[in-house]
Each structure stands twice: as structure tokens, then as C-alpha cells.
């Protein structure tokens, strides 16, 4: 049997939703995550508008839609043996609407962004949230409205200024943050990026939207940089012939990861009264100084500050040659992959299951022996038409970006995985 893939594209809010799959000619989605940052997802879709259905004020089906109050939901299914399994590829907010109409042919391009990026442009709220606060609680309080008279921080999608919710899915343990300083940051996302994300360091991954209330979801990763067992899937990729749960490698780009080289770090609390510095003398002598500074990080005391700076210099003091980019397609999966690979292909397409996952790659460079490398997924670009779906995964070396997991087949190998 073969693994097939299908997409459904919906635009809507709490008032009404529209399935526009049949009108969409193509779409693309680009998701990026990085340490000490809030991840982003953005993309666009090209729509055939020859009947004028999407022309604003044209009297067509969607002519009166308020496009900038709409969610974009790109979902789908992977099917093998007649049994479909659903996935959520992208959920976000309409950001731009462009009409290209010469009186004969008409096309619409709708661009979209993730909900945290949309809401993160709001004015910052009170950053003085005190001490001993869980990171997830602080983040949710930043994005959510705390008073009926206060303006909404997130897009309400037809709801009320207090009716929406932001929910955290912990991919690791939660952690404690603190800030007793007001007015840190000049926007909602800048406050979180300055106070919370640098601690550890950690990261946020925007994920889903549920059109009830609405509810905006995101995932949180702590200093271990490694998903817990319940949320971790190791993807197996191989060039040439694949079998079992392996997925095919269409093209693989390798290179040096010098961009992340770090050997001198300082971190300061929001009050400016506590600064911790650390540097890697061996790395600095070898490569020259590569400096990183966090000036308003809400670490839970000096011990946490020390742990954060040491994590940077211990993990990223060396330059590694490793896989950087992997590409393949739904047609390759359909023609080459075994049925057992279907759950893994499905998770690659799902925004909650793909990002920051470990990957094992088995490949043979020209004129060399076969190699096996461990990586982690830091970005995912998807370009799709009705006939094919191209996937490009941006990769980072797992040795720096994952932690040792006792008895794990892939992350439990001595001298190949970091102890967090």
C-alpha cells in the first residue's frame, strides 16, 4: 500500500468558517524556532479568483469577509490502508490580503502569521509579576487579558476582550522566573523575550488555535532543550533505499555550525543588580571571542544565572560539521516509504509534533563510508500544491542541542549526548 496526503484549508472565526480548499492553488508555511526566543510561523496561499468570489465588495461568496479578523487553519490527513490520521499543519491569523486582477484573470494572495506573533505586537503589560512564578503562568498572564476594562492582547477572532485563553503544553519541566521591575520591553513579545526566554535558555513554539473562545496554544521547552518521553519522537531518515519506519532523504545539505559559536556570556537580572559572567578560555583562544549578553533575564537567583551562562559556553564552544538541511516530498513518501512510516510522516506535518524533535540521518557522502548523525529540527518549510508537498527541515547538531537521556536508544549514548 502507499501513504497518501491531503490538506484542508479553512478561514474563519467564532462567527463563521469557510472551507476554501478547492480554491487554493498553492500554499507555503515557514516555521522557525531558536534558543532564548519565541518561535515564529508564517506563510501565504495563492487563490484562484476567476469568479470574483474573493473580491472585496464584489458581491461574491467571500466579498464581505473581514479578512483581518480571521484565523487560518491548515489541517490534513495521511492515509494508509484506507485509514486516515489527522494532523494540524499550521494555525494562525490573516496578516495581509492582496488582489491581483487585470479584468481577465484574478488571483488573491493571503499571507498569515502565528497567533503569538500577532498578539505579541500589543503593548506590554505589567512586567512586575514578582518572584517564584512558573514560566508558563507568567507567559499566559502576559498574553491573556486580566481585566474587563483592559484591551485585548491577542486577536479575539470575533470574541470578547476577556473571552480568549492562551494555554501551555509543557514539552519539558516547567521552571521558575521572577521580575520585580516594571516596563521591561516595548511590546508584549519583547517583554517575554527579554525576561523569560533567556532563562535556561528556553524557547516557545506557537502551535494551534481552537475556534471556541478562542484558545491559542503554544509549547514550552526548558534548559534541557529536550522533549520529554511523552512528547518525543525520533525520526529516522535514510538515503537510497528505506524500510520500516524510515523516511527518505531527497537532498541533504551539510556544513559547519559556526553561527551559534558562543564562548563568552553575561546575564543580568531586570533590576540590574546581579550580573553573572562566564567564558570558555579554550574556545576563545582557538576561535576568538564570540559574545552573548542577556540584560534583563528573569532568572530565579544567581544559581540559575550561573546555570544559564554555563549552558551556553559548555554546549556551544566548539564548531561542528553536521547536517544542516534535509528535503523530501509527499510523492517520495508515497512511492518509497513503507506503511510503518506513516505515523512519522504524519508527525512531520503536525505543528505540535514536528519542531525540536531528534532526527537520526543515515547517508553516504560521495567517496566516503556511510555515516549516521543525530540532529534536531529547528525549522520546517512546507510548499504544497494539490499534487505534491515539499518539506525542508532545518537541522542543528543534537550533541549541542539535546541532552543525555538514560537508556534512550538515540539520546542515551555516552560521549554523543550532553548531560543537561
Alpha-helical runs (H) found in 29-108: none
Report which of 109, 75, 116, 124 is spatially closest to residue 93, judged by C-alpha positions. Answer: 116
Report which of 21, 45, 41 is spatially closest to residue 32, judged by C-alpha positions. Answer: 41
**How confident is the model at residue 150, as a pLDDT?**
75
Summarize pLDDT for 315-367 with one digit per residue, the tens: 999 999 999 999 999 999 999 999 999 999 999 999 999 999 999 999 999 99
Q: What is the pTM of this model?
A: 0.95
Summarize pLDDT for 137-157 with one digit per residue, the tens: 999 999 997 766 678 899 999
Residue 151 DSSP class: P
**Would you say residue 21 has pLDDT above 70?**
yes
Contact call for residues 356 and 376 (beta carbons, < 8 A): yes
Rounded distance between C-alpha atoms, residue 42 and residue 110, angstroms: 11
My answer on whether omega of the bond before 214 falls inside 30° of 0, hence cis, is yes
Residues 6 or more apart from 193 whose CB is under 8 A from it? 36, 37, 38, 185
| The C-alpha cell that represents 169 in the structure block | 503544553
Summarize pLDDT for 240-284 with one digit per residue, the tens: 999 999 999 999 999 999 988 999 999 999 999 999 999 999 999
Summarize pLDDT for 283-303 with one digit per residue, the tens: 999 999 999 999 999 999 999
Amino acid at each position: 500500500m502507499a501513504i497518501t496526503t491531503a490538506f484542508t484549508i479553512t478561514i474563519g472565526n467564532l462567527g463563521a468558517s469557510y472551507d476554501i480548499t478547492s480554491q487554493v492553488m498553492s500554499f507555503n508555511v515557514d516555521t522557525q524556532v531558536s534558543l532564548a526566543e519565541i518561535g515564529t510561523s508564517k506563510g501565504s496561499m495563492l487563490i484562484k479568483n476567476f469568479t470574483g468570489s474573493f473580491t472585496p465588495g464584489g458581491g461574491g461568496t467571500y466579498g464581505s469577509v473581514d479578512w483581518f479578523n480571521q484565523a487560518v487553519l491548515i489541517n490534513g490527513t495521511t492515509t494508509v490502508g484506507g485509514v486516515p490520521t489527522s494532523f494540524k499543519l499550521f494555525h494562525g491569523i490573516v496578516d495581509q490580503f492582496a488582489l491581483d486582477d487585470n479584468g481577465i484573470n484574478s488571483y488573491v494572495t493571503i499571507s498569515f502569521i502565528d497567533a503569538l506573533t500577532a498578539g505579541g505586537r500589543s503593548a506590554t503589560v505589567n512586567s512586575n509579576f514578582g518572584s517564584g512564578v512558573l514560566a508558563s503562568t507568567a507567559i499566559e498572564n502576559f498574553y491573556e487579558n486580566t481585566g474587563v476594562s483592559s484591551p485585548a492582547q491577542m486577536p479575539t477572532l470575533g470574541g470578547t476582550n476577556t473571552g480568549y485563553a492562551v494555554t501551555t503544553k509543557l514539552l519539558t519541566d516547567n521552571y521558575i522566573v521572577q521580575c520585580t521591575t516594571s516596563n521591561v520591553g516595548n511590546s508584549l513579545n519583547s517583554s517575554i523575550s527579554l525576561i523569560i526566554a533567556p532563562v535556561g535558555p528556553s524557547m516557545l513554539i506557537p502551535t494551534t488555535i481552537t475556534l471556541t473562545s478562542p484558545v491559542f496554544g503554544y509549547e514550552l521547552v526548558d534548559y534541557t532543550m529536550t522533549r520529554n518521553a511523552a512528547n518525543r519522537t525520533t525520526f529516522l531518515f535514510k538515503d537510497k533505499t528505506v524500510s520500516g519506519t524510515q523516511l527518505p532523504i531527497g537532498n541533504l545539505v551539510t556544513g559547519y555550525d559556526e553561527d551559534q559559536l558562543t564562548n563568552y556570556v553575561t546575564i543580568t537580572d531586570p533590576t540590574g543588580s546581579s550580573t553573572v559572567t562566564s567564558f570558555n578560555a579554550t574556545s576563545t583562544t582557538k576561535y576568538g571571542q564570540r559574545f552573548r549578553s542577556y540584560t534583563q533575564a528573569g532568572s530565579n537567583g544567581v544559581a540559575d544565572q550561573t546555570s544559564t551562562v554555563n549552558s551556553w559556553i559548555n554546549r556551544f564552544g566548539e564548531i561542528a560539521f553536521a547536517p544542516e538541511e534535509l528535503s523530501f516530498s509527499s510523492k517520495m513518501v508515497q512511492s518509497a516509504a513503507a506503511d510503518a512510516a506513516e505515523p512519522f510522516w504524519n508527525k512531520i506535518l503536525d505543528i505540535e509534533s514536528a519542531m525540536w524533535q531528534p532526527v537520526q540521518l543515515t547517508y553516504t557522502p560521495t567517496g566516503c563510508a556511510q555515516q549516521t548523525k543525530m540532529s534536531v529540527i529547528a525549522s520546517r518549510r512546507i510548499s504544497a500544491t494539490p499534487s505534491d508537498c515539499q518539506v525542508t527541515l532545518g537541522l542543528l547538531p543534537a550533541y549541542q542541542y539535546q541532552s543525555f537521556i538514560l537508556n534512550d536508544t538515540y539520546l542515551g549514548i555516552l560521549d554523543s549526548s550532553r548531560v543537561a
